[in-house]
């Protein structure tokens, strides 16, 4: 008999029929003797609909009130699922984030979980109930409702699993596991039986939205066994594991991509010590995260050019800040492009192999795709290319590294 935390995403609870199907699945697990905590998202499209309503009132709604609004989506699904369970004779109780004391910091719209007081959940489990918890939401020390950022229900589930010492955290979604790349872009993508935490974290941070980054961080930190599987069909899904357990790792495990990128270039900056800090400091001060950075010194050695990337939502604001800074520093030009994307190869096997970058660049060149920026780390290589080449680039790389074929 195991204690399992299950999370069902938006599509999995997207209609009354789907909610009934989830209730049936939960009942089957319970009939096998397992104790269950179920975390649910809002019905698919609901969070976007609520965001749309808020935007009709204001371009930048007050973050506190936006959280009050967005958290309602999940309150609907916990009630409906609990009703569907009770109808089947399964005792169930629904709780919002604040009711089960999911305590977060006070950063509205992207709060971090600090602590969970799991006593109430434990008491219900002891009493033989299925506990249904609203994903994506918590409460700060002052009692304000907070939300955890898009895709945050994954993190609620993993954090609950950690707090309860659950045997497994199962993320049920509309795909039957983690694939070599998004199967919506490459139909030949292959499901992975296993992927390491390190690789999954890298994939999530580089744009694969199948799991929220913080959920993977949490699972790695607290040793939560994590599995991604389909709510629509039976199967083993993908287990997120520790590297030590693997005998031999494939060279490349997957390809991630991020469409939310924008590139900014500042030309002719006088080259002096401390210039990078002067230029980029004001951007960081505005809470804008800078990703890849490239600096080139002009042949005369007197000026330097900077190119870097930011999130697309921060593009206009970054340009605005830099126009002023660049003028003050005597730079010659600020320009940008918000129609770029980042494509990344991820694999722990890369550590011990040379030549991956060369194969990657050749595959892109053969398709006539120009690389604008490159960055590497031990287990990833990322390139920035024009937005129009995203699908072509990902497919070409998937083929060049034979990711459609099993490595074993
Ligand atoms: P949920 O609503 O259940 O949380 P999401 O839409 O957040 O579901 O995540 C599932 C989606 O993630 C899939 O439909 C798929 O298109 C996308 N995805 C992106 N990269 C991958 C990948 N490497 N493997 C599997 N799915 C991926
Ligand atoms: N409903 C929230 C969202 O759409 C949280 C989640 O689904 O994980 O982002
Ligand atoms: Mg999700």
4 pLDDT exceeds 70?
A: yes
> Beta strand 130-134 with 145-147: parallel, antiparallel or unpaired?
unpaired
Tell me, in angstroms, the distance from the centre of ligand 3 to residue 211's CA.
6
What's the pLDDT at 148? Answer: 97
Percent of the residues in the chain that have a pLDDT greater than 70, as a whole number:
98
Task: Give a yes or no: residue 236 inside a domain.
Answer: no
Q: What length is written for the chain?
A: 408
3-state secondary structure of 94: strand
Q: How many domains does the chain have?
A: 2
Which strands sit side by side in the sheet containing 137-139, from one edge to the other?
A: 113-116, 102-104, 137-139, 145-147
Whether residue 153 has its Cβ less than 6 Å from ligand 2: yes
Q: Where does the pLDDT of residue 1 fall: very low under 50, low under 70, confident under 90, or very high at 90 and above?
A: confident
Q: How confident is the model at residue 247 (pLDDT cuts 50, 70, 90)?
A: low
Out of 173, 192, 207, a domain closes at 173
Q: Are strands 254-270 and 168-173 parallel, antiparallel or unpaired?
A: unpaired
| Mean pLDDT computed over 289-295 | 91
Pairing of strands 137-139, 145-147: antiparallel
pLDDT at 408 over 70: no
What distance in Å separates the CA atoms of residue 107 and residue 13, rounded to the nearest whole number? 28
Whether residues 166 and 296 fall in one domain: no
Residue 406 pLDDT level (bands cut at 50, 70, 90): confident
138 lines ligand 2 (CB under 6 A): no
φ and ψ of 196, to 5 deg? -80, 155
- Domain encompassing residue 136: 3-173
pLDDT band at 111 (very low <50, low <70, confident <90, very high): very high
Q: What is the mean pLDDT of the chain?
A: 94
Ligand nearest to the CA of 40: 2
Flag whether 203 is in a domain.
Answer: no
Question: Does a structural domain hold residue 189?
Answer: no
Per-residue pLDDT band for 248 (boundaries 50, 70, 90) equals: low
Q: Which of 137, 158, 173 is the last residue of a domain?
A: 173
Q: What pLDDT is recorded for position 407?
A: 60
Query: CB within 8 A of 405, min separation 6: which ones?
Result: 190
The CATH number linked to 112 is 3.40.1160.10
Reduced to 3 states, what is the DSSP secondary structure of residue 351? helix
Rounded to whole angstroms, the Cα distance separating 328 from 216 reads 42
Q: Which of 123, 143, 127, 139 is nearest to 71 (CA)?
A: 139
Rounded Cα distance between 273 and 291, Å, is 21
The pLDDT, as a whole number, for residue 354 is: 78
370 and 272 in one domain? yes
State the Cα–Cα distance between residues 263 and 24, nearest whole angstrom.
Answer: 48
Q: How far is CA 268 from the centre of its chain?
A: 36
Residue 327 maps to which CATH number?
Answer: 3.30.2130.10
pLDDT, average across residues 275-294: 91
Query: Mind listing the pLDDT tens digit for each residue in 316-365?
Result: 999 999 999 999 999 999 999 999 999 999 998 888 777 899 999 999 99
In the Cβ-directed half-sphere of 326, how many Cα atoms lie within 13 Å?
21
User: Nearest C-alpha to atom 15 of ligand 1 is from which residue?
Assistant: 182
Q: What is the pLDDT of residue 160?
A: 98
In the predicted model, what is the mean pLDDT of residues 71-83? 98
**pLDDT at residue 349, rounded to an integer:** 86
């Amino acid at each position: 008999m195991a204690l399992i935390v299950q999370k069902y995403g938006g599509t999995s609870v997207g209609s009354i029929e789907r909610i009934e199907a989830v209730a049936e699945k939960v009942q089957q697990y319970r009939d096998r003797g397992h104790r269950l905590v179920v975390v649910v998202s809002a019905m698919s499209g609901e969070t976007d609909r609520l965001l749309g309503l808020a935007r009709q009132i204001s371009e930048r709604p007050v973050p506190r009130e936006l959280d009050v609004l967005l958290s309602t989506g999940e309150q609907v699904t916990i009630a409906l699922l609990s009703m569907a369970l009770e109808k089947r004779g399964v005792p169930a109780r629904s709780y919002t984030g604040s009711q089960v004391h999911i305590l977060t910091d006070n950063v509205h719209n992207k709060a971090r979980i600090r602590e969970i007081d799991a006593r109430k959940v434990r008491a219900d489990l002891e009493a033989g109930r299925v506990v249904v918890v609203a994903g994506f939401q918590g409460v700060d020390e002052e009692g304000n409702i907070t939300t955890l950022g898009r895709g945050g229900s994954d993190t609620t589930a993993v954090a609950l699993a950690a707090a309860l010492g659950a045997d497994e955290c199962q993320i049920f979604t509309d795909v039957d596991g983690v694939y070599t790349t998004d199967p919506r872009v490459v139909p030949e993508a292959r499901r992975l039986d296993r992927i390491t935490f390190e690789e999954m974290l890298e994939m999530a941070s580089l744009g694969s939205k199948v799991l929220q980054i913080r959920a993977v961080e949490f699972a790695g930190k607290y040793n939560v066994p994590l599995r991604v599987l389909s709510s629509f069909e039976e199967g083993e899904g993908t287990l997120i594991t520790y590297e030590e357990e693997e005998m031999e790792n494939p060279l490349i495990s997957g390809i991630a991509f991020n469409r939310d990128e924008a590139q900014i270039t500042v030309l002719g900056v006088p080259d002096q010590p401390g210039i990078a800090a002067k230029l980029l400091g004001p951007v960081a001060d505005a809470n804008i995260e800078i990703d890849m950075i490239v600096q080139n010194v002009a042949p005369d050695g007197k000026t330097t050019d900077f190119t870097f990337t930011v999130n697309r939502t921060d593009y206009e604001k970054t340009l605005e800040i830099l126009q002023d800074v660049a003028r003050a520093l005597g730079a010659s030009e600020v320009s940008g492009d918000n129609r770029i994307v980042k494509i990344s190869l991820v694999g722990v096997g890369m550590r011990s192999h040379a030549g991956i970058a060369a194969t990657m660049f050749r595959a892109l060149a053969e398709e006539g795709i120009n690389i604008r920026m490159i960055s590497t780390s031990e287990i990833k290589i990322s390139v920035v290319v024009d937005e129009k080449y995203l699908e072509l680039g990902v497919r070409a790389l998937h083929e060049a590294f034979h990711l459609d074929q099993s490595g074993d």
